[in-house]
Amino acid sequence: MSDHRSLLQENDPELFAALCGEEQRQREGIELIPSENYTYPEVLALLGSVFTNKYSEGYPGKRYYGGQEYTDEIENLARQRACEVFRAQHANVQPLSGSAMNQASYLGVLKPGDRILAMDLSHGGHLTHGAPVSHMGRLFDFARYKTLPRSGAIDYDHVRDMALAHKPRLLICGYSSYPGDLDYARFKEIAVEVGALTMADISHFGGLVAANVMANPLDAGFDIVTTTTHKSLRGPRGGLILCRDELARDIDSSVFPGLQGGPHMNQVAAVAVTLKHAASEGFARYAGQVLENASAFADALLDQGVSLVTGGTKNHLLVMDTIQSFGIDGRTAQDVLDTVAITTNKQVIPDDPLPPFKGSGVRLGTPAATTRGMDTNHMRQIALWTLQALRNRDDAAQLTTIAAEVKAFCREFPVPGLA
């Protein structure tokens, strides 16, 4: 047992037990939450490294504290690599996570009260895209576009109508629960027509953009692109803001000193190594497999008559309408799947009549399963277990059998960084 583990075991047995429990849970279950992943062993090492001891307010070459020779080096590496991987002019690698990253972006280019047009939460947008319960929803004047009632797809004519009616200063695209792709050129055209800046929040599929298996909004001339680093990118928890050179000063001063204090340099180091991986051929293959797996998973569910929002997927995630498909709400479906060690999350669907704590659906995704080496055949098997569990949810013996099969299956797929 490594030194830090025995120390933890000795000094804090309760915490050690929880750590071991979580490791076992991650090893023995199938992770289908589309925003989760298993990070690299080097990331785990850097997160637990001495970089966590260091205060580094400011930016490389312009810090408020001494002793920055190595922190400057890692932040420069992270910035350079982010610019290379995403073809960006400028990168800020300090946002602590997704919400801070989006808040800093808005506050960098807008004034409180300015109008923003973004996707409605229940139609696939994110809390920070102006949900009324979020601070951003109160600080800015959000208008929200919705998807088409039957297909669940984005209706660009509706987005344009909303833009013409509301005259936003910022037009946002990007999603946390939309199983489609985005026409960035069309968004840009609409923004130009109304004089708005453009921002894409690609947090969910940042890794797929980095690997060039999904389109890059910067190639369509977007002003700002944000992404978290721990989802399909497989890095530590964190956020990146990518932008044009003209916005670099405003974005940087919005992150620090505007919103945050000292950056987490252990996290910045881990982001740097993540971006080195993201530029590799192995990562490109991984990203392609994430998409193939999602498509195979969706097809397997559709073949069995399951109802999926938008009728399938063009990215790494799918949203199953559990009311239509199984007559149960999303929370019940999530709980049933938990009993067979398949981890998902309940999800609201467009204009959901149920509250978010119930939801009419469940969101499923393939980044984590693909990291463990699962392929399209495995996804078909997982689809089968998912259906068997949901259809036989009142049959305890059947659920126990499925849980045992899932556990045995998972033994074949080691989790990176876990012995």
Q: How far is the CB of 98 from ligand DSN (least distance, A)?
A: 5
> Which of 71, 227 has the CB closer to ligand DSN?
227
**Residues in Cβ contact with 57 at an 8 Å cutoff, skipping those fewer than 6 apart:** 63, 64, 65, 256, 257, 261, 262, 263
Is-catalytic flag, 370?
no
Which residue, 71 or 176, is less far from ligand DSN as judged by CB?
Answer: 176
CB of 33 to ligand DSN, least distance (A): 6
Q: How far apart are CA 325 and CA 391, in angstroms?
A: 10
DSSP 3-state of 416: coil
Q: Which of 27, 54, 55, 292 is catalytic?
A: 55
CA-to-CA distance for 245 and 52, rounded, in angstroms?
Answer: 30
Asked whether the beta carbons of 263 and 94 are under 8 A apart, the reply is yes
Minimum CB separation from ligand DSN for residue 281, in Å?
28
- Is 176 or 254 the residue whose CB approaches ligand DSN more closely? 176
Residue 71 or 105 having the CB closest to ligand DSN: 105
Q: Reading across the β-sheet that carries 141-145, which strands appear in turn?
A: 90-92, 239-243, 224-228, 197-201, 170-174, 115-119, 141-145
Q: For residues 143 and 105, give the distance between their C-alpha atoms in angstroms, rounded to a whole number.
A: 18
Catalytic residue chosen out of the listed positions 63, 81, 237, 331? 237
Decide if 248 contacts 272 (C-beta within 8 A): no
Cβ(164)–Cβ(195) under 8 Å?
no
Does 57 qualify as catalytic in the annotation?
Answer: yes
Catalytic residue among 39, 226, 227, 228: 228
Residue carrying structure tokens 């080691």: 414
CB-nearer residue toward ligand DSN: 163 or 333: 333
Please say if 201 is a catalytic residue: yes
- Nearest distance, CB of residue 72 and ligand DSN, angstroms: 30
Residue holding tokens 């576009």?
145
Q: What distance in Å separates the CA atoms of residue 399 and residue 388, rounded to the nearest whole number?
A: 8
Instruction: Please give the Cα distance from 292 to 375 (Å, whole number).
Output: 8
List the catalytic residue out of 57, 141, 292, 405: 57
Instruction: Please pick, among 31, 75, 120, 201, the residue that the annotation labels catalytic.
Output: 201
What does the alpha-carbon distance between residue 349 and residue 278 come to, in Å, rounded to a whole number?
32
To the query of whether residue 339 is one of the catalytic residues in this protein, the response is: no
Active-site residue identified among 231, 234, 331, 393: 231
Cβ(387)–Cβ(308) below 8 Å: no
Whether 237 is a known active-site residue: answer: yes
Measured from each CB, the residue nearest to ligand DSN is 35
Q: How far is CA 408 from CA 24, 373, 396, 404, 411, in A?
A: 13, 15, 19, 6, 5
CB of residue 50 to ligand DSN, shortest distance in Å: 29
- Please, which residue, 56 or 177, has the CB nearer to ligand DSN? 177
Shortest distance (Å) from residue 175 CB to ligand DSN: 9
Residues that bind ligand DSN in the complex, under the rule CB under 6 A: 35, 98, 126, 176
Nearer to ligand DSN, 37 or 386 (CB): 37
- CB 296, min distance to ligand DSN, A: 22
Q: Which residues are catalytic?
A: 55, 57, 201, 228, 231, 237
